[in-house]
Copies of this chain bind each other. A is one copy, B any other.
Amino acid sequence: MSQPDSRKLSLNTATVREKWTLDQIIEGCARHEIRGIAPWRDQVQALGLKESARLIRHHDLLLSGYCRGGMFPGSTPEERREKALDNRRAVDEALELGAPCLVLVVGGLPAGSKDLLAARQQVRDGLSELLDYARPLGMPLAIEPLHPMYAAERACVNTLAQANDLCDELGDEGLGIAVDLYHTWWDPQFQQQIERAGVDRLLAFHICDWLVPTTDMLLDRGMMGDGVIDIRSHRQAIEALGYSGLHEVEIFSRNNWWQRDPDEVLAICKQRHREFG
């Protein structure tokens, strides 16, 4: 099994956000020769959009995506309109930063609702509207299926098949999928659905590991190699289809990695990417 190209490593800034601000993270990536980065909107806002873009260019970093838009469902038309406007701003920011795509966490059930079908319809409608804005501007939207354990609160698109269905329905131009192994490693249709997607829909590839046991549903993700995901096989399957983009490491880990010295975290990310990526 072949090792991954180390130049493909990208850091999702959430991985070290507890201890570093965005400018520190950008400089950290440069120092550790991590060539890719995926910043979050709140961090970009804190540093300033222009300064974020300038620093990223100055250090010659590539973006693997911009985190994030989505959260389409809402209890009222007003709430959904507000989200729609905010999503347009996210597209504008992604353009300014030179991101290859805006990653979409599509949102779950509106407060008080048990109607998952309606939420999924709202996702479809919100996505369609955002596409009308993003397509002419040339900013691709990447639907990220989230693990079914987030169906209620974060994303009611929970399988690659659903993401493919949305691409089929809304058209491929400027639309694709962010494949995050944390969310999809269990999926019996993984191989079948990435083949169905094909290289043109594969806009992003995120990695980390599933710990056994997992002690927190949101904030206990593992470093590559510490869990049960066969990351290498999945990466090779994606690349066998022609994917040549970055490998983005995104680790939410309140009690472990977020507590460590970020320089140590980045060094270990690099090493584990070589070993298990």
Contacts and interface: CB of A to CB of B under 8 A. Distances in A.
Interface in A114-142: 114-116, 120
Main secondary structure of the interface of A (DSSP, over half): loop
Given A158-B186, A186-B148, A230 B120 contact: no
By size class, the interface of chain A is 20 to 34
A217 B149 contact: yes
Given A147-B148, A148-B148, A152-B212, A230 B158 contact: no
A214 B217 CA distance: 8
A213 interface: yes
Interface in A83-125: 109, 113-116, 120
Contacts of A113: 228
Contacts of A25: none
Q: How many copies of the shown chain assemble into the complex?
A: 2
Nearest to A211: B152
Given A147-B149, A149-B148, A188 B212 contact: no
A153 interface: yes
Interface string A29-70: 000000000000000000000000000000000000000000
12 contacts: A109-B228, A120-B188, A147-B148, A147-B149, A149-B214, A151-B185, A152-B227, A153-B213, A156-B186, A158-B188, A161-B188, A214-B217
